[in-house]
Structure 1
Amino acid sequence: MSWLQHPHSRRKVMTVTAGLVAGATLPAMGAMRAAAATTAQQERFLNPVIWQDFADLEVIRVGDTYYYTGSTMHYSPGAPVLRSYDLVNWEFIGHSVPVLDFGDAYDLKGARAYVQGIYASSMRYRPSDKTFYWVGQIGWQRSYVYRATDAAGPWTRHAEIGSIYYDAGLLFDDDGTPYVAYGANEIRVAQLSADLRTEVRSEHVLTKPDALHYMEGSRFYKINGNYYIFVTRPPNGQYIWKSTSGPFGPYEMREVLLDLPGPIPGGGIPHQGSLVDTPNGDWYYMGFIDAYPGGRVPALAPVTWNAAGWPELQKADGAWGETYPYPLPPHPLPPMTGADTFEGTALAPYWEWNHNPDTAAFTVGNGLTLRTATVTDDLYSARNTLTRRIQGPASTATVVLDCSGMADGDRAGLAMLRDYSAWIGVTRQNGVSRLVMFDGLTMDTSWNTTGTGTERARADLPASGSRVWLRASADISPGPGRQAIFSYSTDGTTFTRLGPAYTLNERPHFFMGYRFAVFNHATKALGGTVRVERFDVSACAPTAQAGTVDTNAWYVIVNRNSGKVLDVSGVSSEDGAALTQWARIDGTNQQFQFVDSGGGYYRLKARHSGKVLDVSSWSTADNAAIHQWSDHDGVNQQFRLADSPDGYFRLINRNSGKAVEVPGFSSDDGTGIVQYSDWGGVNQQWKLVRVGFTGLSSC
C-alpha cells in the first residue's frame, strides 16, 4: 500500500516496509490504515523524477551535490544547469552557454536556427583546478569549451576547437588529463591539452555492430581503473563499452537494456543519459523517455555492478520501475512550477528565449516589459519570445498582461510553442484592442514557416480595459490527441474559454517538446510595449472524459458527491471482493485501467489484482452490488462513459443499462458501490484522474 505525494516536481511515495511478510495473510484494509501511522515507512520516489523536457542529459556528482545538464537546441541561454542533493528533487541554477553567439541565425537575422545550437553535450568538474567545464559541438564546423568555478555561473567561453565533438562525453582522468568520446556509429576518443584549448590526438576506438542499427550519445567514465563509454541505440537501447587497457581501448561491449518497458504509460523506453554514484558507493542510471508532445523526460533507476565489472540495471517486474527507494535522504527544493513577478533586474534561470533576444527590447523589474523587436506576421520569426517548460503530465500557465502600451498592428499573448503552435492574446487594429485565439502556426521539417496562423475566435475587451489574464491549460502526457485549452479573464477570477481545443502535435522530429511562451511583436511598425506582471505555472491533474480515455493509463476514479474514490475492499485479490468508496491513499487497489471491449465499452481492471468490475450475478436490479471478478469480458463487466457536466461522467453497465452509484449520497469510507437507474445525480458522477496526482486541481 502506498501514499503518493506529488508537490509538483518533487516525487515522493511513502511505502509500508514493516508488519508484512511474504505469504502473510493481509489484515482488513481498515486495520492496515489504522496501523499505518505507527508502521515504519520508507520513502520512495516516482518516475519521471522531473516531468519536464530535459533531454540528452548528463548527471555528475561533486562532493554531496549533483548537477544536471541537457540539450536546448535553439533556446537561449543554452545548456541548463540543475542542482540536486538526492537525485530526485532538482532546481534550476543557471546555464553553461549564456548566449548563442554563433552567427546571425541565432539572432533571427536573415536566417533561423531551429533545431540547431545545443545538442547532446557534456559538463564535468576537474578537482585539480576546481573548475566546471562544458564541451559541445555547435553546427558542423567546430566545438566549444565553456568554464566556471561555480556551476551556477558566471560561465565564460574558454576555447574553440576545430573538431566536431558530436554527442560529446568529457572525462578527466585521475591526473586531470581531459578526454572526449564522441561520434555516431564510429566512436572516437580525443585527448585535449591540459588547458582544454587544443586537441592533442584523436583515435577511432570502436565501431557499431551491425545489430545495433545506430549508436550515439557517448558518456565517458573511469571506474575502478576501467574506462567505459556509455552509448545509446535510440530510441530503445543502451550499451556500454569497457576497456581495461586505457582510454583508447581496445573496448568490448555489453547490453544494458533493450526494449525495456518504461514507467510512463504511453511513453517510450528509457535510454541515453548518464551513470552516477552516491557518496555511499551506490550507483544509478538517469535516462530519458520520449514522452511527446511534452518532450523527453528523465527517469532514474538503481544500478549494481557484477564481479566482471559490468553494470546491471535493477528492474521492477521486468520493467524500468515506476518507483524505487530514494537514493539518499530526501532533500526537498522549491518546485519547478510557481509564479514569477519579475522582480529584481535579471530573469530567473528557468526562462529561455526562442533564439537570442534583442537585449535592448526588454527590461526586468516591476514586471517584464517587452518592447516590439520584430515587424512580422510570423511568430516563428519574431524575436523576444520568452519560454518556460511545461510541467507534465498536465499544467496551466496564466499570464497577467498590461497591454495599454500596444501600438496599432501589434500582437501579444501566450502561446503553446513548437513546430505546430497556437496562441491566445491581444491584437490592436485601427485603435481597437481585441482578444483572439489563433492556431495553424506550422513549420515544415526544414523549419520553414508553412502557416502563420488562422484566427479561430475573438472577443471584445472592455473599452477601459488594459489588463487581461491569459491562460493555457495543456495535457502533455505521451500520445496522440492531447489538447490545450485557452481562456481569458478581465478580473483574474472568472475565466472564459476562447476558441476550440487545440490538438498538440506529438511527432518527435522537432526533438523539443511544447513550451509555454509569452510574446509581443509588431506587424506594422516598432514602438509598442506590453508589461507581463505575472507568469504562473501550476501543475494540475489531467482528467479524462468519455472520448479521451487512455487505455494505457491507470486512473483513480473520484466520486463527485463525496470526493472519495473507488476502492477494492481490503486490497483483496479474491473474486467477489466488494467495491467501496474510500478516502484516496493511492493504493493500487484504488487504481484502474480501461480495457477496450469494443463499441465504446470498457472493462475496469484493478491494478493490484488484475480483476475487473462486475455487476453481481448479472443482475439488472437497482441496488445490485458491484464487486471485482476474474475477467471473462461478459456484458455485466462492460461499462461505457456517459458525459456529465464539468468534466464528470457516469459509468453505465452494458448488461443492465444502469449507472454505478454511491448509495444514499453517502460520504462514508467503506460504503459499498451499487448500480442504480441512471438519473444523473452527483452520487452517480465520477472523474478520472491519472495516477500520480494528489490534491491538484484538474486542468
Structure 2
Amino acid sequence: MSWIHRPHGRRNVLTTAMGLAVAGAVPAAHASSGPAHPAAPAAAQSSGDALADYTNPVIWQDFADIDIIRVGDTYYYSASTMHYSPGAPILRSYDLVNWEFAGHSVPVLDFGTKYDLNGGRGYVRGIWASSLAYRESNSTFYWLGQIDFARTYLYTAASVEGPWSRHATLDSVYYDAGLLIDDDDTVYVAYGNTEINVAQLSADARSEVRSQRVFSTPASVGTLEGARFYKINGNYYIFLTRPANGQYILKSASGPFGPYALHEILLDLPGPIAGGGVPHQGGLVDTPNGDWHYLAFIDAYPGGRVPALAPVTWNQEGWPVLQLAGGAWGQSYPVPAVPEPPRQVEPLIGVDTFPGPALGPQWEWNHNPDTSKFSVGDGLTLRTATTTYDLYSARNTLTHRIQGPTSTATIELDYSAMADGDRAGLALLRDSSAWIGVKRDGGGTRVVMIDNITMDSDWNTVSTGGEVAGTAVSGGRVWLRARADIRPGDGRQARFSYSTDGSSFTDLGPAFTLKNDWHFFMGYRFGIFNYATRALGGAVTVGRFELSTP
C-alpha cells in the first residue's frame, strides 16, 4: 500500500493493533467446526498483555452488507460498493477490531456500458449484498453476487489481493447470497427475500445442481433477507436480517435443505452510535479458541453504514445469544482473545503520495475509469476523460470513504496543465454534492466552491450546481481541503478551504449541508475529479492526499 503512517492515525483499542495473515496459516472458513457452546473467553492474549476494551463502531467508515470469515488466524470482511469500481472491497484483521484494506473481489464492473458512464449510469446498482468464502480443498477464495437482478457471478482468487477471475454462473439470481462450503466440500448458497432458498452448486461452483425453497417468512415478521450460511456443530444456520431493525436465524438439524426453525436474535435494539440505527445484517465468526462474535452494520447517514462488533454465546438449544450491555448493543467490549499477530495492520487514514505502480485498495472510482486517462507514480495524474458540465457524468472521479465522526481530506493539486474550460478539485460526493476546485476559463484561473449538485430519485441529474464563492489564483499549485461531519442526524455540515502555500488555509463559501436519508445507500465520499467542459486534453496532478481526524 502507499499509505504513509501518521501519528494521528485512529486506534480503536489500547493494545497494539493487529496485523496480516501468516503465510501457510491453516484455514477455517464458513464451514466451521467450532463448538456450539464455546469455552469462556481467555483472560489475556497470547502475548501476555491484559485484554483492553474496544469501542464501537470498530470502523467508522461506510462498509455495508457485511460478510466475514476466518482463515486460520486471519479475518476477512467483504462489503457492498454499488456503482464504485473496483467493487466488493476486502478488509483484513487479526483481532476483529483493527482492520486494513486488502483488495477487491470484483476488479472491474464489466456488466454493461452504463458502468462506464457511457450511454447510461449504474448509480445504486452494481455490487449489492454478496458473499465471501474460503475453500480449503483448493486453497481458494470465492466471491459470489448477483448483478442487476439478472445474473449471478462467481469470482475466485488464490489470495484476497488477487488476481481475481470471473466465472459466470447460471442465469439464476441469488439475491443477497450467502455461501457455505460444507465439511464434504459441497458448495451451497442461501438466498432470497422473504422466501428463503438454498441451492447446491456443482463441484466447480459454476452451475446449479439443485435449488429449493426452505423457508417462508411469516407475515408477523415481515421481510427477511441478507442471508449468511453456516454449519456449526452439525447444525445448518441461515442468518437473516429484517431491514433495518432486526436479525433472525434459521436452524436445521436435518441438512442444508431443512426443515428450518426460526429464532429472533434482536429487534429494535438500541445501538452504540448516538442518532444511529439498529445494528443488523452482518455475519457470525469464531476465533481460533472457539469464541464467537457478530459483526453488524449500523445505518449512520450521512456517513453510510458502519460496522459494530459484539460477542455471542450459545444456549443449550443451539441458538446464538448476543451479549448486551445495559439492554443495548455495547459501546465497548473486551478485545477478542486471539493469537499474537505478525505485525500491525496499515491504518485506514493517513497520507498517500501515489508512488505507484498502482492505486492502493483504499481507492475506488465512481463507475469504471478510462484507464488511458490516468497514471500513478510520483503523484496521481488525471487527464480529462469526459466533456460535460455534470460531475455525475464525469469519468475518472476517484473516491475515498470519509472517516467518522469527523475528518478532513486535503489534496495538493498541480493545475498548471489544465486546459481552457476544465474543472478539477475535491468533492463531497453523493446524490446531493458540492466541491471546491479550480476553474480555468478564458485564460484565467479561479478557485471556486460549487454547491447544489443534485440527483432525483431515479439518479438523474437535476442540477449541475452553481458557483457560490470564488477568487483568482496563480502559480500552478493549490491545496484544497474539505472537512466533513458525518455523525448521524439532520443538518450535518461540510466546509471547504484552500491554500496557496500548503500551510495557511482560507475558508471558501458557505457550509454545505449533507443529505442524510438512506435511499442512495452509499454514504458521502471524498471525490477527486478533473473533467472538461470544452475539449479533452488538459491534465492535473495530485501530489498528495491526506485523510486526518478530527
TM-score by length of 2: 0.91
CA distance in structure 2 between the aligned counterparts of 1:56 and 1:10, rounded to whole angstroms: 24
Of the two, which has the highest radius of gyration?
1
- Equivalence for 1:498: 508
- Equivalence for 2:39: none
8 A contact 2:85–2:366 mirrored in 1: yes
Describe the superposition over 1:186-240 as per-residue Cα deviations: whole angstroms up to 9, x where unpaired.
0110100010110011100001111222111000000000000000001110000
Aligned match for 1:486, one of 479, 484, 496 = 496
Report the CA distance between 1:154 and its aligned residue.
1.1
- Equivalence for 1:179: 188
Corresponding residue SS for 1:220: strand
Aligned match for 2:437, one of 425, 432, 438 = 425
Alignment-mate amino acid for residue 373 of structure 1: A
Aligned match for 1:538, one of 536, 543, 548 = 548
Describe the superposition over 1:599-646 as per-residue Cα deviations: whole angstroms up to 9, x where unpaired.
xxxxxxxxxxxxxxxxxxxxxxxxxxxxxxxxxxxxxxxxxxxxxxxx
Aligned match for 2:449, one of 414, 420, 437 = 437
Aligned match for 2:485, one of 475, 484, 503 = 475
CA distance in structure 2 between the aligned counterparts of 1:211 and 1:324, rounded to whole angstroms: 33
1:1-20 aligned within 5 A: 8-13=9-14
Report the CA distance between 1:42 and its aligned residue.
3.7
Alignment-mate amino acid for residue 436 of structure 1: V
Report the CA distance between 1:137 and its aligned residue.
0.2
Alignment-mate amino acid for residue 304 of structure 1: T
CA distance in structure 1 between the aligned counterparts of 2:237 and 2:119, rounded to whole angstroms: 43
Which 5+ residue runs of structure 2 have no aligned equivalent? 1-6, 16-48
Describe the superposition over 1:464-487 as per-residue Cα deviations: whole angstroms up to 9, x where unpaired.
x10000000000011111000000
Describe the superposition over 1:509-559 as per-residue Cα deviations: whole angstroms up to 9, x where unpaired.
00000000000000000000000000110020xxxxxxxxxxxxxxxxxxx
CA distance in structure 2 between the aligned counterparts of 1:322 and 1:305, rounded to whole angstroms: 21
Corresponding residue SS for 1:12: coil
CA distance in structure 2 between the aligned counterparts of 1:495 and 1:9, rounded to whole angstroms: 24
Which 5+ residue runs of structure 1 have no aligned equivalent? 1-5, 15-39, 541-699
1:590-669 aligned within 5 A: none
Corresponding residue SS for 1:509: coil
1:513-528 aligned within 5 A: 513-528=523-538
- Equivalence for 1:335: 347
1:385 aligns with 2:397: yes
8 A contact 1:273–1:287 mirrored in 2: yes
1:296 aligns with 2:305: yes
8 A contact 1:159–1:196 mirrored in 2: no
Aligned match for 1:146, one of 146, 155, 159 = 155
- Equivalence for 1:73: 82
Corresponding residue SS for 2:62: coil
Aligned match for 1:350, one of 340, 358, 362 = 362
- Equivalence for 2:409: 397
Report the CA distance between 1:296 and its aligned residue.
0.1
CA distance in structure 2 between the aligned counterparts of 1:479 and 1:306, rounded to whole angstroms: 37
CA distance in structure 1 between the aligned counterparts of 2:305 and 2:370, rounded to whole angstroms: 29
8 A contact 2:8–2:548 mirrored in 1: no
CA distance in structure 1 between the aligned counterparts of 2:169 and 2:214, rounded to whole angstroms: 24
CA distance in structure 1 between the aligned counterparts of 2:433 and 2:389, rounded to whole angstroms: 14
CA distance in structure 2 between the aligned counterparts of 1:348 and 1:169, rounded to whole angstroms: 28
1:158-177 aligned within 5 A: 158-177=167-186
8 A contact 1:9–1:51 mirrored in 2: no
Report the CA distance between 1:328 and its aligned residue.
2.6
8 A contact 1:10–1:88 mirrored in 2: no
Corresponding residue SS for 2:346: coil
Structure of greater relative contact order (alpha carbons < 8 Å, 6+ residues apart): 2
8 A contact 1:67–1:82 mirrored in 2: yes
Segment drifting more, 219-228 vs 203-212: 203-212
RMSD (Å), alpha carbons: 1.2
Describe the superposition over 1:564-599 as per-residue Cα deviations: whole angstroms up to 9, x where unpaired.
xxxxxxxxxxxxxxxxxxxxxxxxxxxxxxxxxxxx
Alignment-mate amino acid for residue 64 of structure 1: D
8 A contact 2:424–2:437 mirrored in 1: yes
- Equivalence for 1:196: 205
CA distance in structure 2 between the aligned counterparts of 1:296 and 1:124, rounded to whole angstroms: 22
CA distance in structure 1 between the aligned counterparts of 2:509 and 2:457, rounded to whole angstroms: 27
- Equivalence for 2:250: 241
8 A contact 2:9–2:350 mirrored in 1: no
8 A contact 2:51–2:337 mirrored in 1: no
8 A contact 2:237–2:250 mirrored in 1: yes
Aligned match for 1:449, one of 458, 461, 467 = 461
CA distance in structure 1 between the aligned counterparts of 2:516 and 2:443, rounded to whole angstroms: 39
- Equivalence for 1:92: 101
1:406-421 aligned within 5 A: 406-421=418-433
1:29-40 aligned within 5 A: none
Alignment-mate amino acid for residue 312 of structure 2: V
Aligned match for 1:323, one of 320, 332, 336 = 332
Corresponding residue SS for 1:59: strand
Report the CA distance between 1:295 and its aligned residue.
0.2
CA distance in structure 1 between the aligned counterparts of 2:264 and 2:83, rounded to whole angstroms: 33
Aligned match for 2:277, one of 268, 271, 282 = 268
8 A contact 1:7–1:335 mirrored in 2: no
Corresponding residue SS for 1:342: coil
CA distance in structure 2 between the aligned counterparts of 1:161 and 1:294, rounded to whole angstroms: 36
- Equivalence for 1:129: 138
CA distance in structure 1 between the aligned counterparts of 2:326 and 2:83, rounded to whole angstroms: 39
Corresponding residue SS for 2:309: strand
Report the CA distance between 1:41 and its aligned residue.
5.5
- Equivalence for 2:227: 218
Alignment-mate amino acid for residue 415 of structure 2: C
- Equivalence for 2:166: 157
CA distance in structure 2 between the aligned counterparts of 1:527 and 1:231, rounded to whole angstroms: 50
Corresponding residue SS for 2:52: strand
Report the CA distance between 1:159 and its aligned residue.
2.8
Aligned match for 1:310, one of 312, 319, 331 = 319
Report the CA distance between 1:347 and its aligned residue.
0.2
Alignment-mate amino acid for residue 302 of structure 2: P
Report the CA distance between 1:374 and its aligned residue.
0.3
CA distance in structure 2 between the aligned counterparts of 1:312 and 1:412, rounded to whole angstroms: 51
- Equivalence for 2:293: 284
Report the CA distance between 1:96 and its aligned residue.
0.2
Corresponding residue SS for 1:212: coil
CA separation of 1:216 and 1:417: change in aligned 2, threshold 3 A: same
CA distance in structure 2 between the aligned counterparts of 1:274 and 1:212, rounded to whole angstroms: 20
CA distance in structure 2 between the aligned counterparts of 1:364 and 1:7, rounded to whole angstroms: 26
CA distance in structure 2 between the aligned counterparts of 1:212 and 1:457, rounded to whole angstroms: 51
Alignment-mate amino acid for residue 441 of structure 1: I
Describe the superposition over 1:158-184 as per-residue Cα deviations: whole angstroms up to 9, x where unpaired.
233210011000001101100000110
8 A contact 1:390–1:515 mirrored in 2: yes
Alignment-mate amino acid for residue 496 of structure 1: T
